[in-house]
Chains A and B, each alone.
Chain A
Amino acid sequence: MTDAPLDTARPLAKTRLSHTAAFWLAFSAVMALLIIAPLVLPEFWSGFLTEILIWGLLAMSSDLLIGYTGIVSFGHSAFFGLGMYGAAAALLLVSPPNLWLAIMFGLAGAAGAALCVAYFSTRIRDIYFAITTLIFAQIFYVIIFTWTSLTGGENGLIFDQPHFAIPFLVNVPFHTATMHWFVLAVVTASYLILRRITQSPFGMVLQSIRENEARTRAIGYPVERYKIVSVMLSGLFAGLAGALYAVQKEFAAPDFVYFIVSGETVIYNIIGGVGTLVGPIVGAGFYQLMRQFMAQWFGDQFPYLIPLGIVFIAMIIFLPQGLLGFARRWLNR
């Protein structure tokens, strides 16, 4: 009698184990491919892949809000841009340019913006939250665009790339492959941290807010506080993406703070699949590659936004769960 529950639990545990094994197996395979990519790809495509990873990190950061907390942010360009300008400030002020300081400054810049946005925006819901984040992003854009003496205005800032340096161990300049591996390491670590967060009790509360905010509040959770932490975390990872972009490209420009970047981030999420973390990276890759290939196949002046828009609408209608959600459902069939 007493053994009966154990017997039924065994297949469940087995299934969970096989799911975990399958996940890590797939994870290792993708990681292996991404690690060897710069060794086999031409220089341009290797750099392009690195850029996709950075846009993917930005999209993944917003997935914490869209997919897990159930709030859509149109202000991620502000976090990304301030991360970029924070890194730029460190790279311009400190000589020789220091990689870790750039990342720290980038995170600080994004954290400042995220705190400001989170404090005011999380008191409101749905479309009002989205509009407030959009307005904040535009405020930051105007400040950056017009405060020329500090931000370089429309021209932005250009600076030297820092070396990859670990005190007393290594100090080497970046090249395409090492930059790719560095960005890959940061994006992977970010993914694992975000995955852990979403699977933690904190992440469960966020998902509860997404499902039913009123009920979550009714059972005693301070919903506003959870949302503030969620926006802050999301903003920090978006800022990290901005800092990585600045380090890779050696420039910062106000265009990255403009709301179009926020819109593209939401599109990456929808294409890849919200609430999957990896999906937005896939979405960013799909979008960037489509744009690149269309220019290559149909000429540089081909209006790629029209077919991309059609693909986007088709995906919303036929694959509302996004590419990864669809793949997951297909594999589980």
Chain B
Amino acid sequence: MYLNLHLLRPEICLAITAIAVIAVDLFSRRKWLVNTVSLVGLLVSIVLAISLVGSMPNYVGNGLFVLDNYAVFFKILFIAIAILVVLVSTDYIERIPKLHGEYHALLLTATLGAMLTAAAQNIISVILSVELTAVSLYALVGMLKNEKSTESSLKYLLLGAVNSAVMLFGLALVFGFTGSTNFSEIAEMISKSVMSDGFGLFFGLALVFAGFAFKIAAVPFHMWAPDVYEGSPTPITLFLSTVSKIAGFSILLRLVIIIVDTSSNHTWGMLLAIISAVTMTTGNLLAISQNNIKRLLAYSSIAQSGYMLMAVAAVSVSMHDSLTIVSSLQSYMVAFALAEIAVFSVVIIASRYKDSESITDYSGLGKRSPRMAFILTLGLLSLMGFPLMAGFMGKFYVFNQVANGGLLWLVIIAVINSVISAFYYLRIIRTIWIETPQSFETPRSSPALKIVLFISGIGILLFGILPAILSTFTAWGSQFISI
């Protein structure tokens, strides 16, 4: 075991950038500089992360973290999303005039935490990295400083704190019953001991899974999501729903593969499958009656967690071929992230002149700004899982793997859910294109936002029509470190 700090170069770069951002904010009056520094830092960091591609799997920090393709894939994904989030923040940040430095610095640390989460291989590092993201986000959520934002920040903080306590307790139990903090050693202990007398261990793992279920907003730990999504600054909502959620999945999946695979016990798989079914159904049904677009997207995001959980369930049920399932889930995540970026960017642009986020504000957007409306439609169709969109291919990959794992009933529930979701996605699409506009303001977007819209639109179509491009990456990115 060695320190191997050079393998953490993207993270180190981000940490330095975060400090630099604060320093620049302190000593310079040029507001745009903060934005530029954080963007440059992220760009350097993504280059460093890409330079890790092809390096041999290795332990980092004396076994606290690992560096396998799986971790590198998520690192690149998180930095890429963070870059787009910084870009969509350029206009939005005017609403929080005095906190530009803090905003960017915290965004960077939150990304840093997510990257470390994906690489965590030890109980200690899991707690540290998950908390790093969470604490940064508690502050970011409240940055608008209005009533709603503060309320959601407090709500997120209180529930998050309870959740951390529960997760910590669970991890402590796991440590207590196995005597190790390292995942591979824990897995070894579990495979040696007989599960029947391990109720304490089972209980501990259940608490840990509950903790991650909170992060990914799975039912019944989803209550925070709609309020927090609604109250947060919109770019932070985007961050919560993509980076924070995917980070939760990345560590959940790692745990499931390392621990459950070796214990060959189907209880977890069935439990996850049921949670996934309940999550997607609840999310979709509750989304139907929403009139605020951010709340609606929050519920839709809960439903999407349900679809992603299917793959996690499939991993724990089917022993063979977990790599293909992981790779299909990664494809889904990329597609999901692209769609969320597309949708939220339009929400950011549209809410720039009018503070309300009601769906009726979008009526006639197709006439006022056809290009924006087109991208929004692509994003919604992709979330709905419509063919030729990246989301369809993601869904097809995942559903296929889940059926492969013998969970055909779950696939049927999922396809029925897609129809339910069509109901509210189509409602927005109809509002955009068919209803008469209430105002004739044309929402203007800055060049940065245009770039983001363009990238997400191209990505959705490209990965939807030629999914082989994406699956080449995910096939590589699903490679786990061999234990």
Partners in one complex: no
Residues on A facing B (Cβ under 8 Å) = none
Residues on B facing A (Cβ under 8 Å) = none
